[in-house]
Amino acid sequence: MTSAPTVQPKFLPSRHDLGLVAVGFSGGQTKAGVDAAPMALIEAGLIQQLEEDLDFSVTYDGQVHSYTDIMPKEDPDYRNMKKPRAVSAVTRALSQQVYEHAKSGKFVLTLGGDHSIAIGTVSGTAKAARERLGKEIAVIWVDAHADINTPETSGSGNIHGMPVAFLTGLATEKDEDIFGWIQDDQRINVKKLVYIGLRDIDRGEKKILKEHGIKAFSMHDIDKHGIGRVMDMALGWIGSDTPIHLSFDVDAIDPMWAPSTGTPVRGGLTLREGDFIAECVAETGSLIALDLVEVNPSLDIKGASDTVRAGCSIVRCALGDTLL
Ligand SMILES: [Mn+2]
């Protein structure tokens, strides 16, 4: 392997300081096993790759957080949401962890966990960027799904399909124990949200995307324009003076390469298209945080190592690894 070329970061004091948060949480959906992903990624050598091949200085508390001590004793469904208090408590704690890394000027890498954890990661980054840089962040959400259901539009009630609704304020709740803790300075602007890789969108979500003019590049757009042009358009929409949080759901990648995930959908990104998205975002120098979520090594055991490898590759590409 070669050493990484230097992309000057625009919004970080140093390219090399990285805060890692490992989140072993699966409560935003119903399949066990996604909580084992951080350990699988770490055991595959991810931290070593970041430190030795990409010269990062990694700050990591050495634990996969499962937040068992803050789990509510009772957690009945509320407004159609499953495990609302558990997901709220976990994302609230995670938000603070991510905020502290981001506030100190570190790049924040979060390994999930299901995608509900992005309520914590994005809210933490958004608040820190406002305070440290005086800027709103943009979010690039790479996913087969839009994850923008409100509790009312969701068919399943699984909160991993709702994080974007809570982050944008399209869904709100007063009860502090059920996402009422999310303040305005932790939210994101729908105009600074860009989707890539969509192919399984609920009816209610289609309506939300249209009504709010949310920028979305589906697999149709990638087929039509090619991934290179799509990335030009996506990054052009965000502009060059905006810090970026990349939230990457491994189910964006076609199950041919990443089968071990809770809600696989055929007709997805190739392995290279996934890496290319991460490479293009890295090249901007604007990336300040990355989530990698929904790797579930206990599903499709045969494909688990491929899925973990795909995940590690996406992280490395987003952090500046290049082919040449
Ligand atoms: Mn997702």
pLDDT in tens, 277-311: 999 999 999 999 999 999 999 999 999 999 999 99
Number of Cα atoms under 13 Å in the Cβ half of residue 74: 2
The sheet with strand 138-142 has its strands ordered as 57-65, 17-23, 107-111, 287-293, 244-249, 138-142, 193-198, 215-218
- What pLDDT, on a 0 to 100 scale, did the predictor assign at position 8? 87
d(CA 170, CA 150): 7
d(CA 292, CA 246): 9
- What pLDDT, on a 0 to 100 scale, did the predictor assign at position 214? 98
Dist. CA 96 → ligand 1 center (Å): 21
Question: Residue ranges of the domains in the chain?
Answer: 17-318
Tens of pLDDT, residues 58-112:
999 999 999 999 999 999 999 999 999 999 999 999 999 999 999 999 999 999 9
Residues catalogued as catalytic: 115, 143, 145, 147, 160, 249, 251, 294
Dist. CA 218 → ligand 1 center (Å): 14
CA separation, residue 25 to residues 30, 66, 169, 210 (Å): 11, 6, 23, 31
Dist. CA 37 → ligand 1 center (Å): 15
Dist. CA 188 → ligand 1 center (Å): 17
CATH class of 17-318: alpha beta
Dist. CA 320 → ligand 1 center (Å): 23
Q: Which residues pair with 107 in a beta bridge?
A: 18
Nearest to 222, CA basis, from 289, 149, 276:
276
Q: Contact, 123 vs 42, CB < 8 A?
A: no
- What pLDDT, on a 0 to 100 scale, did the predictor assign at position 1? 52
Nearest to 305, CA basis, from 9, 40, 36:
40
CB count within 10 Å of CB 134 equals 7
Positions in the chain short of pLDDT 70 = 1-5
- What pLDDT, on a 0 to 100 scale, did the predictor assign at position 125? 98
Give the CA radius of gyration of the chain.
18
